[in-house]
Amino acid sequence: MTDPALAHRFDAGWKILHAAGKLALDYFHRRHELVIEKKGMQDLVSIADQAVERAIRGELARTFPKDAIIGEEDGASDDYLAASGVWVLDPIDGTSNFLRGMPYWCCVMAYSVNGVTEIGLTYDPVHDELFACRRGEAATKNGQPIVVSERPVEEACVGLSFNFKQDGDAYAAMLGRLNRMGFDNRRSGSTALHLAHVADGRLDACITRDCQSWDVLAGLALVEAAGGVASRYTAGATLLERRPVLATTPRLQGAIEEAAGFSLDPRD
């Protein structure tokens, strides 16, 4: 794909996500009116997730009709396998926080070409922070460059996630290793926002033992663009398969891989 074509997608993409985030924020302020459904244990979805995803899909389909789309709520478009360019989105990452009124959630969108993430976008509407990157260029927050931290282990904090699809004992063992090594940790409820905050230097690493591409694709790209190291999602999995990933600063890579129990490329 040509550079002008990617530039057009980047410019249109962040505007579409920003508008979708404002829609999500309106639902957040009216969350007590929402109909909530349960997809699994501690796995909730609301009409807000569905409405925001469909708003994004509609704009993408009108603007880039030849691109495929994969989303958390409505799955993959019929042309997913035939298209080289695919938008991957999560309308609200951190739905449980969203529905509880906790201001740690975001809207996420990435653009992948032949398995390589070319564009990563994460918007935190509550704090009006838009994290964005294009492959080969600097990551930004509201247009200003961001970089990962340089903290040592004894000052570092790791963003963690857990869901009931994971092995609880393996998660507890990983947490024990992090504690013994001297890492602090947070489980704040949005892996996508954790990754954006690694890129911005607020967190120093992010580990998730089980996720979908729409949870992490944009954030992994943001961390790399901000000078960090991160799993490549499609190394060992398709965009529709679950897998573990991690992202961190170069200084902490060895320690984070040891604590996680897997490497940046879990095929190793």
Supply the pLDDT for residue 81: 83
Q: How far apart, in Å, are the Cα atoms of 256 and each of 136, 225, 263, 268?
A: 25, 19, 8, 15
Confidence label for 35 from pLDDT (cuts 50, 70 and 90): low
Confidence label for 42 from pLDDT (cuts 50, 70 and 90): very low
Average pLDDT of the segment spanning 121-134: 98
- With respect to residue 265, please indicate whether it lies within any of the assigned structural domains: no
User: Domain of 99: which CATH number?
Assistant: 3.30.540.10
State whether 73 and 203 are in the same domain: no
Sort 263 into a burial class: Cβ within 10 Å, 0-12 / 13-18 / 19+.
middle
Confidence label for 44 from pLDDT (cuts 50, 70 and 90): very low
Confidence label for 2 from pLDDT (cuts 50, 70 and 90): confident
- With respect to residue 110, please indicate whether it lies within any of the assigned structural domains: yes
Q: Is the pLDDT of residue 45 over 80?
A: no
Q: What is the percentage of the chain residues whose pLDDT exceeds 70? A: 94
**Own/partner pairs, 126-130, CB within 8 angstroms, 24+ separation:** 126/25, 126/28, 127/103, 129/196, 130/14, 130/17, 130/18
- With respect to residue 266, please indicate whether it lies within any of the assigned structural domains: no
**Domain limit, last residue, from 145, 165, 189:** 145
Rounded to whole angstroms, the Cα distance separating 237 from 204 reads: 25
User: Could you give the number of structural domains in the chain?
Assistant: 2
Confidence label for 33 from pLDDT (cuts 50, 70 and 90): confident
State whether 168 and 139 are in the same domain: no
Q: Look at 82 and 185; give whichever has higher pLDDT.
A: 185
State whether 118 and 27 are in the same domain: yes
State whether 201 and 256 are in the same domain: yes
State whether 94 and 221 are in the same domain: no
- With respect to residue 38, please indicate whether it lies within any of the assigned structural domains: yes
pLDDT in tens, 183-229: 999 999 999 999 999 999 999 999 999 999 999 999 999 999 999 99
Domain that holds residue 239: 153-260
Structure tokens that stand for 203 in this block = 């967190």
User: Domain of 220: which CATH number?
Assistant: 3.40.190.80
**Domain limit, last residue, from 91, 124, 145:** 145
Supply the pLDDT for residue 39: 53
**Domain limit, last residue, from 108, 125, 145:** 145
State whether 70 and 177 are in the same domain: no
State whether 121 and 209 are in the same domain: no
Average pLDDT of the segment spanning 252-265: 94
State whether 30 and 106 are in the same domain: yes
Confidence label for 79 from pLDDT (cuts 50, 70 and 90): confident
State whether 100 and 22 are in the same domain: yes
